[in-house]
Chain A
Amino acid sequence: MSASHEKPVFKNGMVRWVDDRLPVVTVMYNAIGPGHPTPKNLSYWWNFGSLAGLMLGLQIITGIVLAMHYNPSAAEAFNSVEHIMRDVNFGWFLRYAHANGASMFFIVVYIHIFRGLYYGSYKSPRELLWMLGVVILLCMMATAFMGYVLPWGQMSFWGAKVITGLFGAIPLVGEPLQIWLLGGFAPDNASLNRFFSLHFLLPFVIAAVIILHIWALHIPGSSNPTGVEVKSESDTVPFHPYYTAKDGFGLGVFLILYCLMLFFLPNALGHPDNYIPANPMSTPAHIVPEWYFWPFYAILRAFTADFFFIPAKLMGVLAMFSAILVWFFLPWLDNSPVRSGNYRPLFRKFFWFGLLPCVLVLGYCGGAPAEEPFVMISQIATAYYFLHFLVILPIVSSVEKPEPLPYSITESVLGSDDKATLASGN
C-alpha cells in the first residue's frame, strides 16, 4: 500500500509545537490532507461520502440550536415548534433546514450505498467498512424516526404508535416491549421525552461510527470505478487539493438542490397532517412514513397472509428488518473476485434492470395507499428484492464471465501503463 504515513514537516512554528505534543494536525494531514493518497480515477459518485459527513454536521448544528427553543412536552411541543417558526429569529430557517436536511441526508446516503453496491465496495478487504456503513444507516433511521415524532403533529403521533406497534409483533415479549418503549399504553409525554433524548444522543453515536468507518476506509484506501487496487504511487493523487477541490464543487451543486427545497419547497417532502396537532382519538385518513422509509414500508405491508405458523404481522416486521440486515452478509453472498460492475456484464444487467427499479417500485408502493394494485406489486418487488441478494447474486458471481480488467488505475485512465508492459514480459 502506498499510504505513506511519514510525518509531514510543518512550516508554521506554532503548528509544529502543537503537533509535536498532540499530533492532531498530522492526523488531519494524513486523513483528508495531502498525506492521504487517493486513487486518481474516482468519479463524481465518490462525492457522496463527504457530502453525507457534511449533512450530519449540518443536522447536528441546526439541531442543537433548535433544541434550545423546543419544548419536549406533549402539551407544548407543537406550540414550541410554531414558536420557532414565527417568533424565533431565523427559526423558520433552522426548522426547514433541519427537516429538509434529513431528506437530503438520506438522498446522499442512498446514492452512497448504491455506488457501493454497483462498484462492489463491500468486497474484501472492505467488509467491515461496509458493515459499519450499514450500522450508520440503521442509526440514521432510528434518529430520523424519532425526530419526526418531535413536532407532535398527527403524523408524529400515529407514526410513533405504528412503528412501536411493529415491536408488538414479536412473540411473547411483544406487548410488554411496546409498552416499555413508549413508557405508557399510547404515545404521550414519557415517549416524547425519551425520543427527544435519544434523538439528541444518536447523531453523536453516528459520528463515532463514522470515525470508525473512515478509519476502516484508510486501511485499504478508497475503492475506485475499476475496482483494481492501487498498484503504485502513480495511481494516486493526494486527497488535498485534488479531492477537496472536487468535493467542494460537488458540495456547491448539492447545496443548490438542498436550498431549492429549503427555501422554495420547504413542505414538499413533508405531510400536511403534521400541521394538525396530535389527536389520539382520530387517525388521519392515510398515514405514511417519510419518503425515505417507503421501500421498507412497502416490504412491511407486502405480507398480508400468515406464513405457516408465523402471523402476517410478524412476517412483515421480520422482512422489513431483514431487507437491511441482508446487507451485512453481502460480502459473502457476492463472491465474484471482480469488484466493479463495470466489468461484470451479468451483474450489471441485474443491477440496472433488477435491483434499482425494484427499489424504486417499492418506494412508490410504500407511499401509495394499502390497496390494489399496489399490494400485489409490492409483493412481487419484495420477492425480487430478496431473490436478488440471496439467490441471483451468488449464482451470477459463479457463472458470470467478467470482462478483462485493466492492469492498473493508470492504464484505465491513460490507456497504457509502462509497468503493465513490463509485468506482462514484453
Chain B
Amino acid sequence: MADSAIGSGHADIGTRRDFLELVAWSSAAVGAGCLALPLIDSMNPSADVLALSSTEVDISGIDEGMAITVTWRGSPVFVRHRTGAEIEEAEGVDMGALRDPQTDESRVIDPKWLVVSGVCTHLGCVPVGNKPSENRGEFGGWFCPCHGSQFDTSGRIRKGPAPTNLPVPEYAFTSETSIKIG
C-alpha cells in the first residue's frame, strides 16, 4: 500500500484517484479495526465470571483475635476480628514510621473488623498470621514467609521488601454479621 506510488508506471495518476485510493484503503483499515474490537473484547472476563465478582461472608463465627481467609476473585482475602489492644496499636502508629502512610481509620469501616487482601504486595505470596498461634511478625499482624515482609494489625507494611500496604478491597456490611466483598 505504502509503495503504491512507485513502480506503477502510470504518469497520469490524478488527484481524484489518489484521494479515492486513500479513502478506500482507510475504510478497509477501519473495517479491520472494527473486526478486531470484538475479538479483543472477548478476552475480557465473561459475564459469568463478573457475576461472581462479589462474595458474601458470614462473620458471626470469627472469634476476637482470629482471622479467616475467604476467596474473592480467585484470590484470598483476610477478614480479621481485632482485639481492643490491636485496634489501639493500629491507631497509635506515628505516620512518619510508615513506608506507605495511611491512617487506620481510612482502612476500616468498623474498627473491630479489618478486611484486607491476602496477597503480599511484594511478589504475591499469601502471608501467615490468621491464627494467634502462627508467626505474626514483630508488629502483630501478618508475616510473609517468602521474603519476610511484616505487616501490622492494620495490614500496613512495616518491615521487609513489600512496597505498599495490603490493599483494602471494596466491601460493605450487609448486616451486623455479614459483609459483601466486591
Q: Does A5 contact B (CB under 8 A)?
A: no
Is A33 in contact with chain B by the CB < 8 A criterion?
Answer: yes
B48 neighbours in A (Cβ, 8 Å): 83, 87
Distance between Cα atoms of A35 and B5 in the complex (Å): 12
In B7-41, the 8 Å CB interface with A consists of 7-9, 21, 24, 28, 38-39, 41
Residues of B within 8 A of A11 (CB): 3, 5-6
Residue pair A245, B44 in contact (C-beta under 8 Å): no
Complex Cα distance A88/B49, Å? Answer: 9
What string of 1s and 0s marks CB contacts (under 8 Å) between A214-246 and chain B?
Answer: 000000000000000000000000101100010
Known A-B contacts A15-B2, A238-B8; A87 and B42 likewise in contact (beta carbons under 8 Å): no
- Comparing A89-97, A119-127, A331-339, A383-391, the segment that makes contact with chain B is A89-97
- Interface residue from B3, B46, B47, B49 paired with A25 (Cβ < 8 Å): B3
A8 and B3 contacting across the interface, CB-CB below 8 Å: yes
* Contact residue among A10, A69, A83, A93 (Cβ-Cβ distance under 8 Å from B38): A93
A424 at the interface (CB under 8 A from B): no
Q: With contacts A238-B8, A238-B9, A248-B24 known, is A90 near B42, CB below 8 A? A: yes
Asked if B41 and A89 sit within 8 Å, CB to CB, the answer is: yes
Q: Which of A15, A68, A245 has the most CB of B within 10 A?
A: A245
Q: How many residues of A contact B (CB 8 A)?
A: 30
The smallest beta-carbon distance between A415 and chain B, in angstroms, is: 23
- CB of B85 closer than 8 Å to a CB of A: no
User: Which positions in A face B, CB cutoff 8 Å?
Assistant: 8-12, 15, 25, 29, 33-35, 61-62, 65, 68-69, 83, 86-91, 93-94, 238, 240-241, 245, 248
Interface of B is mostly: loop
User: Which of A10, A68, A89, A93 has its CB near the most chain B CB atoms (within 10 A)?
Assistant: A89
Say whether A89 contacts B42, CB under 8 Å. yes
Interface residues of B, Cβ cutoff 8 Å to A: 2-9, 21, 24, 28, 38-39, 41-44, 46-49
A-side contacts of B39, CB under 8 Å = 61-62, 65, 90, 94
- Asked if A89 and B24 sit within 8 Å, CB to CB, the answer is no
> Which B residues touch A68, using CB under 8 A?
42-43
A238-B7 contact in complex given A94-B39, A245-B24, C-beta closer than 8 Å: yes
Q: How far is the CB of B51 from chain A (nearest CB, A)?
A: 9
Check A65–B43 contact: CB distance below 8 A.
Answer: yes
Residues of A contacting B24 in the complex (Cβ-Cβ under 8 angstroms): 245, 248
Cβ of A35 and Cβ of B42 under 8 Å apart? no
Known contacts being A61-B39, A94-B39, A248-B28, is A86 close to B3, with CB within 8 Å?
no
